[in-house]
Amino acid sequence: MATYILLTRIVPEAVKDPKTLAELEKKVADKVAAECPGVRWLSDYTVLGPYDYVDIFEAPDNETATKVSVIIRSFGHAVTEIWPATPWDRFKDMVQSMG
């Protein structure tokens, strides 16, 4: 499985009421679980800066990871950016094997 970093920025209208945000999170999580059963969430963080959330997850391929991002965007309350990530040890092995 590949690792992905998902950056999400919530539009201001989505956070007017904390209950609404919690309900939205549940709906998104349920849809991702139903549509992308191979996805495994590793970590979730709220952050200060240009994004509101950083999520780290595993998915079987780029197509599935893209689907996660599209599902989140489909609710109309978020902008996302997704990055594939390589574990540091695997990266070092790749570099060393290059000769």
Whether the per-residue pLDDT at 6 is higher than 80: the answer is: yes
How far apart, in Å, are the Cα atoms of 7 and each of 3, 42, 70, 73, 99?
13, 14, 13, 12, 35
pLDDT digit string, tens, across residues 22-55 = 888 899 999 999 999 999 999 999 999 999 999 9
pLDDT digit string, tens, across residues 10-24 = 988 777 777 888 888
- Where residue 68 falls among pLDDT bands split at 50, 70, 90? very high
Torsion of CA 22, 27, 28, 31, to 10 degrees: 160
